[in-house]
Amino acid sequence: MPSSRTALEDYLDQHDDHAWHRTAGLLEAETHEVDRTAVRIWLSFFPLVLARVLAQPHDATELERRFLLRGRYRLADQADTSHAFLYGHRYWPEVKRAIVMHADASRGRFAGPLAGIARDVARDLAAAMSLDRTLLTGIVVVGLNTLQQTGLDAFRRTAGAVDIDPAVPRRTPEDVLRHRAQDDSQGVFGFLRGERKVWTVTFDERDPESRFPLVNTQAITTAAAADPRDWRHRDPRCTEGPIPVQCRSASCGTCWVGLLGGADKLLPVEARERRKLREFGYIDTDAPHPAIRLACQARATGAISIVIPPWTGVFGAALADDASHDADVALAGAR
């Protein structure tokens, strides 16, 4: 039989996507730079508004048709892996245990800001692990949000393990940041290349093979399509190259990506892309260089590091018409 709900679960359920993004902002100074943007990306990849739709009784086929959902869009099926692109992912087993213990020990009613809960868990765990607290803050926020979406019983049942290449843990946060900031050398006579400079797009920092070249100001999906390797075995949505793509005109939303590093090396968002990002429900922001972009519209002027979400859909506009959901929540996104 499922256990009774805890006070922590009841408290978390009082918060929507806007509250979580606000919390990430409040905790930004307490989150290591290596994961500040990654947390925002994760919150956009796995919005509460979608989880609440999935929690309602529904016909799976009809739901996928209505929201054009493709890929792995259920967080409960990937609770231990959805955050693999965060540096703090390596601490997930300890973070998961700490959150379960915090939930089991919760009594009465919680009050105060959501950031305070995340801060308490990160502080206590950092002391127990003799670790810099800023390295845990981001993954704790992700863990608490995951708990809210899946419920404690399902959260508790996951293995809580991580699968990391032995070489990855040896990279310090500073190593990761340095790599994200570094542009490709164009050689001694690189200045002669002019606008034909070539940059590297990394789409999985855990895998040294997960990268492809991009000619200066080329759209990311155009560059990815030139990668001849078969990526269908990794993701059936990939018909050409490692990034799912269908239309190349910002009409389908299939090619959305998160920018872990180099967002400012992309040409600014133009009106059509900004409008379509809002319609898809991926992000609502006026920032010229947001953390979420449509790869078919995003043109790079330097080396970048991206992360590809495991699903695609068009749920922003549809949820705006749903009386059970607030349109502002449906359009919430990373800033």
Task: Please indicate whether residue 69 or residue 330 has the higher confidence score (pLDDT).
Answer: 69
C-alpha 31/C-alpha 40 separation (Å) is: 11
Q: Are 135 and 88 in contact (CB under 8 A)?
A: yes
Structure token pair of residue 282 = 């991926």
Q: Would you kindly state where each structural domain of the chain is located, as residue ranges?
A: 7-167, 182-316
The neighbour count for residue 141, using CB atoms within 10 Å, is 30
- The answer to whether 258 touches 312, Cβ cutoff 8 Å, is no
Q: Which CATH entry fits the domain spanning 182-316: 3.40.47.10, 3.50.50.60, 3.40.50.300, 3.10.20.30?
A: 3.10.20.30
What is the number of other CB atoms lying within 10 angstroms of the CB of residue 77? Answer: 13
Question: Any alpha helices (H) in 7-91, and if so which ranges?
Answer: 7-12, 17-26, 33-45, 48-55, 60-67
The Cα 11–Cα 121 span in angstroms is: 15
pLDDT confidence bin for 194, thresholds 50/70/90: low
User: Where does the pLDDT of residue 163 fall: very low under 50, low under 70, confident under 90, or very high at 90 and above?
Assistant: confident
pLDDT tens for residues 73-103? 999 999 999 999 999 999 999 999 999 999 9
User: How many helices and strands, by DSSP H and E, does the chain display?
Assistant: 14, 7
pLDDT tens digits for range 264-291: 999 999 999 999 999 898 998 999 999 9
What's the N-to-C CA distance of the chain in angstroms? 41
Cα 73–171–127 angle (5° rounding)? 85
Helix, strand, or coil here: 304? strand
The pLDDT value given to residue 329? 36
pLDDT attached to residue 3: 57
The CA distances from residue 326 to 43, 284, 298, 310, 317, in Å, are: 17, 14, 29, 25, 11
Q: pLDDT, tens digit, for every residue of 196-236? A: 899 999 999 999 999 999 999 999 999 999 999 999 998 99
d(CA 151, CA 164): 26
Residue 332 pLDDT > 70: no
pLDDT of residue 325: 42
pLDDT higher than 80, residue 119: yes
* Paired tokens of 265: 């090396």
